[in-house]
């Protein structure tokens, strides 16, 4: 489809070309789509132009121009040359235009069970992961570890890095297509067994690490809308456990589920579990689907957050239990490799299957170079993102949105 005269669609050296589904009649996409403003503009003009792409009550087939652009171009759009976009408040303002109007308009995502520290910068604007600049954050669908994940992720570059710091994106429908051909057992396991994530929650907020969100914050497992926690430690723990169960139920588990019902995937039958630490920290074990059907394209899509876990297990050679290693100072560390869910005991995913996933992520990825004012719009059901290490300053902010009726249902096998 075409876009309004406000935008051009230049080719950039970081774009990659591929078929989402390999085949003689399948189209080739240049990924991500790049939209560049052709002239100087004010913030108000930018909001108006974005609103033309966003949802409207009279959209044909209930799909906005932006939705159709995402579907036909791999699920990611890099917008450049946005002279009206300089601050977190500017970013917040333009999100109103991008969200659209009518029953298909976006709504802000409500976080629950989030372990990553994200600091509010403006209305609907948060910081990105505060993990150290030297730390590679591997490819992942945003909060794929949880049943509560956003439909869309929008990133804004306030300050580009001195060097490095690209955001890498991978089309997960193409990833599914390649892996289903090369390692069908892996795709089958992601559906019938599901994936396991060990999620640590710090009792108190900790800055400068990959996680660090405080356990009792509303975006984690704390009370909503300013309500107060119970006063006793036992009461606090029961409150948190009730919210964990609430999250597990959103994934399809329930108290009376029949564990012997083989028509249900293992992740759904097993549900979540948790362990309290003596210092008040909490580890929650999430068991969730690893493949989903894209809601508009009706194709299979990888939906996971295994890349960093796989990379850490490779670096520290921890594929065998107990998955521990020695740090340079002699202390013990742990790097748990990706697991499939089991009814009684979870199982390590074969390393060679994960190597195939890593190979295709590297093959299909595009590493996006940031300029001040850039936006990156990601369909979370069609693309994973990652962060390369960087030097210098780098300020990328994030906003998370849902679209009513837009959900990627688990593929059961």
C-alpha separations of 273 from 225, 239, 249, 270 in Å = 26, 15, 12, 9
Q: Is 360 helix (H, G, I), strand (E, B) or coil?
A: helix
For residue 287, is the peptide bond before it cis, meaning its omega torsion is within 30 degrees of 0?
A: no
Q: To which H or E segment does residue 340 belong?
A: strand 339-340
pTM score of the predicted model: 0.96
Residue 5: what pLDDT?
86
Q: Which residues pair with 411 in a beta bridge?
A: none
Sequence-distant (6+) residues with CB within 8 A of 328 are none
Does pLDDT of 38 surpass 60? yes
Q: How high does pLDDT run on average in the chain?
A: 95
Does pLDDT of 397 surpass 50? yes
Residue 4: what pLDDT?
66
What is the tens place of the pLDDT at every residue in 325-335?
999 999 999 99
Q: Which residues pair with 285 in a beta bridge?
A: 198, 273
**pLDDT, average across residues 364-369:** 98
Q: Is 116 helix (H, G, I), strand (E, B) or coil?
A: strand
Cβ atoms of 401 and 151 closer than 8 Å: yes
Q: Which residues pair with 375 in a beta bridge?
A: 79, 156
Sequence-distant (6+) residues with CB within 8 A of 404 are 103, 104, 105, 107
Residue 211: what pLDDT?
80
Closest C-alpha to 275, from 244, 249, 296, 248: 244
What is the tens place of the pLDDT at every residue in 251-260?
999 999 999 9
φ/ψ of 194, rounded to 5, equals 90, 175
Closest C-alpha to 385, from 212, 211, 153, 176: 153
**pLDDT, average across residues 200-227:** 89
Structure tokens at 224: 């909503």
Residue with structure tokens 């990328």? 396
Cβ atoms of 291 and 366 closer than 8 Å: no
Burial bucket for residue 19 (CB in 10 Å: 0-12, 13-18, 19+): middle
Does pLDDT of 82 surpass 60? yes
**pLDDT, average across residues 355-376:** 98
8-state DSSP, 329: T
Rounded distance between C-alpha atoms, residue 235 and residue 108, angstroms: 30
Among residues of the chain, what percentage have pLDDT more than 90? 93
For residue 1, name the pLDDT band (cuts at 50, 70, 90). very low
**pLDDT, average across residues 342-364:** 98
C-alpha separations of 7 from 16, 38, 72, 79, 377 in Å = 20, 6, 17, 9, 15
Among residues of the chain, what percentage have pLDDT more than 70? 99
3-state helix, strand, coil split of the chain in percent (to 5) is 25, 25, 50
Give start and end residues of each alpha helix (H) in 183-232.
Answer: 184-192
Residue 314: what pLDDT?
97
What is the tens place of the pLDDT at every residue in 174-210?
999 999 999 999 999 999 999 999 999 999 988 877 7
Angle at which helices 351-364 and 184-192 pack, to 10 degrees?
100
Rounded distance between C-alpha atoms, residue 362 and residue 311, angstroms: 13
What is the tens place of the pLDDT at every residue in 260-319?
999 999 999 999 999 999 999 999 999 999 999 999 999 999 999 999 999 999 999 999
Residue with structure tokens 């107060």? 228
Q: To which H or E segment does residue 107 belong?
A: strand 107-108
Residue with structure tokens 């910081």? 127
Residue 257: what pLDDT?
97
Look at 127-141, 162-176, 190-204, 367-381 and tell me which has the smallest mean pLDDT.
Answer: 127-141
Does pLDDT of 413 surpass 80? no
């Amino acid at each position: 489809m075409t876009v309004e005269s406000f935008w051009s669609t230049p080719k950039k050296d970081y774009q990659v070309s591929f078929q989402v589904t390999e085949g003689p009649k399948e189209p080739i996409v240049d990924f991500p789509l790049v939209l560049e403003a052709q002239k100087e503009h004010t913030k108000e003009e930018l909001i108006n132009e974005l609103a033309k792409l966003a949802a409207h009550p009279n959209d044909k087939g209930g799909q906005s121009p932006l939705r159709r652009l995402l579907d036909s171009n791999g699920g990611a759009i890099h917008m450049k040359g946005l002279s009206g976009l300089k601050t977190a408040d500017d970013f917040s303002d333009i999100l109103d235009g991008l969200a659209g109007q009518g029953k298909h308009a976006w709504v802000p995502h409500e976080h629950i069970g989030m372990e990553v520290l994200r600091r509010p910068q403006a209305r609907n604007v948060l910081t990105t992961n505060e993990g150290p600049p030297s730390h590679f954050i591997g490819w992942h669908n945003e909060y794929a570890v949880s049943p509560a994940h956003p439909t869309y992720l929008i990133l804004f570059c306030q300050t580009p890095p001195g060097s490095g710091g690209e955001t890498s994106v991978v089309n997960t429908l193409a990833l599914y297509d390649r892996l289903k051909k090369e390692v069908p057992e892996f795709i089958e396991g992601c559906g019938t067994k599901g994936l396991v994530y060990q999620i640590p929650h710090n009792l108190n907020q900790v800055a400068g690490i990959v996680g660090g969100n405080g356990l009792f914050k509303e975006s984690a497992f704390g009370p909503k809308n300013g309500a107060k926690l119970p006063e006793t430690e036992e009461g606090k723990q029961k409150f948190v456990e009730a919210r964990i169960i609430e999250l597990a139920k959103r994934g399809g588990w329930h108290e009376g589920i029949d564990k012997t019902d083989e028509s249900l995937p293992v992740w759904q039958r097993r549900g979540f579990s948790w362990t309290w630490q003596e210092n008040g920290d909490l580890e929650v074990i999430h068991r969730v689907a690893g493949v989903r059907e894209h809601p508009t394209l009706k194709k299979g899509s990888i939906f996971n957050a295994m890349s960093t876990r796989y990379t850490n297990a490779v670096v520290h050679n921890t594929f065998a239990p107990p998955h521990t290693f020695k740090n340079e100072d002699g202390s013990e560390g742990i790097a748990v490799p990706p697991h499939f869910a089991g009814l009684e005991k979870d199982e390590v995913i074969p390393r060679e299957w994960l190597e195939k996933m890593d190979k295709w992520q590297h093959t299909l990825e595009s590493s996006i170079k940031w300029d001040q004012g850039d936006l990156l719009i990601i369909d979370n059901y069609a693309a994973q993102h990652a962060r390369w290490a960087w030097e210098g300053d780098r300020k990328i902010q994030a906003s998370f949105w849902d679209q009513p009726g837009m959900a990627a249902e688990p593929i059961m096998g």
